[in-house]
Amino acid sequence: TARPVLTDADFPPLKNDLILRAARGEPTERTPVWVMRQAGRYLPEFRETRAEHDFFRVCRTPELATRVTLQPIDRYAGLLDASIIFCDILVVPQALGMTVEMVPGKGPHFPEPLREPADLERLTTHVDVEKELGYALDAITLTRQQLAGRVPLFGFCGAPWTLMAYMIEGGGSKTFSKAKRWLFQYPDAASQLLQRLTEVAADFLVAQVNAGAQIVQVFDSWAGELSPADFERFSLPYLRQIAERVRAQLGDRAVPMVVFAKGAHFGLHALAHAGYDVVSLDWTVTPQEARRAMAGAPRVTLQGNLDPCLLFAPHDVLRARARQMINDFGVGGGHIANLGHGMMPDHDPEALRVYLEAVRDASTVSR
Ligand code: CP3
């Protein structure tokens, strides 16, 4: 199932490379901005598509995935500096043979989660990502064509620890006690699972770049559930390995890489050493604290980090907080504006517009 390796020459020329420059640490005349879950249920046009199609049906149908990926790009024309392919981190457990359903109003559900180490035998041993996840790769190629160079396209994957947590918990969790039980009761089986997820995640990111992704992000949404020592043992080595594997496989076709380890303040210094160009922050750390924590480490670009709930605030409060954030990170380079986590279903699409305009206005470097 060899797929072609696509390069910039296969796509329309890029007209806005702000986020790629910021990720590489180059100067920017304005702070680039995008938001996690920018294609989502807060948009009426997304809900319309979802009313007709199941969540994973959208992911698996390139025309539909492209349509919803472009919805925020069209609506906020000129205000967003990146798109992110519509997909989910849980397509990797699916590729490993697990069943995952998206239950409306409840979130992801695994009818048969991993319960004991013997369950690892249920997982596919050699995952051919080009075959199992070809639909996501086709969606990337189609989306990049239809973006017509307006903004770069993000590919992404879940981090091994976060994927392991979902595969064992069977869905969201308050305590992650089932997944953490594995870490402490079955450390060898846990490491084996984390290693397998690392290899599939890295292969998937490489395939996404080969299909047209121009920057990639690794989401470790549950990193903050681990103690500092356990983050160092069960998350960080695999994040580092993903960066290494992707770079080694891509060679001179490497793209910028972003890591988002939500809640892992204690890990920021180490993350700056992990081989990523950008470290994404949630809202519970200030830019100043983050820079301090990373002193002495290789210089990385920071991404983030307004509390998404500020989009519920009166617009003047939202504008002031966006301006404050921009000033705290500093203008002219080294920052990609985002939220500290994703958009929520009850957000007002107009509040996002206010945020994007405030970021643009506060960060434009006059010359
Ligand atoms: O716009 C984008 O950011 C791109 C698409 C995207 C989705 N999921 C679409 C989605 C991305 C990057 C993700 C990543 C993802 N998925 C993460 C990491 C980021 C994070 O939020 O921490 C995680 C943990 C998941 C797993 C997942 N998928 C959960 C927990 C849920 C339910 C959350 C909810 O709000 O109900 C999903 C569903 C999901 N993934 C939705 C979207 C737009 C909403 C569900 C729907 O349309 O029914």
Q: What is the pLDDT of residues 250-261, one digit of tens each?
A: 999 999 999 999
Residue 354 has pLDDT above 60, yes or no: yes
> Is 88 a known active-site residue?
yes
What distance in angstroms lies between residue 298's CA and the mean position of ligand 1's atoms?
Answer: 31
ipTM, two decimals? 0.92
pLDDT averaged over the chain?
97
Measure the CA–CA gap between 356 and 61, rounded to whole angstroms. Answer: 29
Q: How many Å separate Cα 49 from the centre of its chain?
A: 22
Q: Which of 37, 67, 319, 360 is catalytic?
A: 37
One-letter amino acid for residue 340 of the chain: G
Mean per-residue pLDDT for 264-277?
97
Q: Determine the pLDDT at residue 288.
A: 96
What distance in angstroms lies between residue 165's CA and the mean position of ligand 1's atoms?
Answer: 15
Q: Report the nearest-CA residue for atom 5 of ligand 1.
A: 86
Query: What backbone torsions phi and psi does residue 36 show, to the nearest 5 degrees?
Result: -65, 145
**Radius of gyration for the alpha carbons in the chain, expressed in angstroms and rounded:** 19
Q: Determine the pLDDT at residue 223.
A: 98
pTM value is: 0.97
> Is 166 a known active-site residue?
yes
Measure the CA–CA gap between 162 and 252, rounded to whole angstroms. Answer: 29
> Is 41 a known active-site residue?
yes
List pocket residues of ligand 1, CB cut-off 6 Å: 36-41, 50, 55, 84, 86, 88-90, 102, 107-108, 156, 172, 219, 221, 342
Q: What is the pLDDT of residues 218-242, one digit of tens each?
A: 999 999 999 999 999 999 999 999 9
Q: Determine the pLDDT at residue 105.
A: 87
Closest CA to 72 of 98, 46, 110: 46
Q: What is the pLDDT of residues 47-81, one digit of tens each?
A: 999 999 999 999 999 999 999 999 999 999 999 99
> Contact at 8 Å (CB) between 283 and 260?
no
* DSSP secondary structure, 274-296, as one string: TT-SEEE--TTS-HHHHHHHTTT
Measure the CA–CA gap between 96 and 120, rounded to whole angstroms. Answer: 10
Measure the CA–CA gap between 326 and 311, rounded to whole angstroms. Answer: 16
> Is 299 a known active-site residue?
no
Q: How many CB atoms lie within 10 A of CB 82?
A: 26
How does strand 257-261 pair with strand 278-280? parallel
Q: What is the pLDDT of residues 120-174, one digit of tens each?
A: 999 999 999 999 999 999 999 999 999 999 999 999 999 999 999 999 999 999 9
Residue 366 has pLDDT above 80, yes or no: no
Residue-wise burial string across 181-211, b where 16 or more C-beta atoms lie within 10 A, e elsewhere: ebbeeeeebbbebbebbbbbbbbbbbbbbbb
Residue-wise burial string across 40-57, b where 16 or more C-beta atoms lie within 10 A, e elsewhere: bebbebbeebbeeeebbe
Residue 367 has pLDDT above 60, yes or no: no
Mean per-residue pLDDT for 21-35?
97
Q: Determine the pLDDT at residue 225.
A: 97
Mean per-residue pLDDT for 178-197?
98
Measure the CA–CA gap between 247 and 255, rounded to whole angstroms. Answer: 8
> Is 282 a known active-site residue?
no
SS3 6: coil
Residue-wise burial string across 299-336, b where 16 or more C-beta atoms lie within 10 A, e elsewhere: ebbbbbbbbbebbeeebeebbebbeebbeebebebbbb
> Contact at 8 Å (CB) between 83 and 69?
yes
Mean per-residue pLDDT for 31-56?
98
Residue-wise burial string across 133-146, b where 16 or more C-beta atoms lie within 10 A, e elsewhere: bbbbbbbbbbbbeb
Class of domain 10-363: alpha beta
Q: Determine the pLDDT at residue 108.
A: 97
Residue 1 has pLDDT above 70, yes or no: no
